[in-house]
A and B are shown apart, each in its own frame.
Chain A
Amino acid sequence: SQTIHQWPATLVQPVGSPLSLECTVEGTSNPNLYWYRQAAGRGLQLLFYSVGIGQISSEVPQNLSASRPQDRQFILSSKKLLLSDSGFYLCAWSISTGVPGELFFGEGSRLTVL
């Protein structure tokens, strides 16, 4: 069966520090991968998606970047965090072919920038 993991689960970082959140998927090949952010009391905003290794599409201009160095690995990064980067970050995957299906979400990473 397929599983998705992301870490760390909780992170407190000072403004200006770097960030790296990792997400890995097991049990499937060539998935579509996504990073969403959920700000406090708000809905989920799609930040990045990837349909293959090295292929990253950004949905909103921001201070963050994403990379996909391996088929089932998706990394969210920042060189210098801003206060506004605080939030709950969710990684998700879906099958890459056929009818749009459900997204499978990871456990989430809660980032607090101080």
Chain B
Amino acid sequence: AQKVTQAQTEISVVEKEDVTLDCVYETRDTTYYLFWYKQPPSGELVFLIRRNSFDEQNEISGRYSWNFQKSTSSFNFTITASQVVDSAVYFCALSSGGYNKLIFGAGTRLAVHP
């Protein structure tokens, strides 16, 4: 069975702090894809990154970075020097089995305070 676990329900930080959002996944497939989405207060989900199971290189995009480790089935997301605009709910998701169906974690609500 496929499953995505985001153990952190809510995180609160002060602006400029670094914060890491954890994601652990379960799948029996050897080929799969992992995603991170951001849901700002407006409600619409915004795509952040996709990573396939054969590419374990970490990725950095500005203040965002992602650490993919197959050995621990984790795909963690770090925001460096957080800003108030980073406040949102962040979802980790897994796609496997065709038709691009995404299985989402419960989400982590990040609050960045000035």
Contacts and interface: CB of A to CB of B under 8 A. Distances in A.
B28 interface: no
Interface in A92-112: 92, 94-95, 99-108, 110
Contacts of A104: 47
Q: Which of A32, A45, A94, A100 has the most CB of B within 10 A?
A: A100
Contacts of A94: 100
Interface string A35-65: 0100000111110010100000101000000
Contacts of B106: 42-43
Interface in B62-98: 91, 95
B45 A90 contact: yes
A88 B99 contact: no
B100 A108 contact: no
Given A43-B104, A44-B104, A46-B102, A105 B44 contact: yes
Interface in B42-69: 42-45, 47, 50, 52
Interface residues of B, number: 22
B95 A100 contact: yes
A106 B44 contact: yes
Contacts of B105: 43
A51 B107 CA distance: 27
Given A43-B107, A102-B35, A107 B102 contact: no
A33 to B, nearest CB: 11
A74 interface: no
Nearest to A104: B47
Given A43-B105, A44-B91, A102 B99 contact: no
A107 B44 contact: yes
A51 B45 CA distance: 21
B43 A103 contact: no
Top-6 shortest CB links A-B: A43-B106, A102-B47, A44-B104, A105-B45, A108-B43, A43-B104
Interface of B: 4, 6, 33, 35, 42-45, 47, 50, 52, 91, 95, 99-107
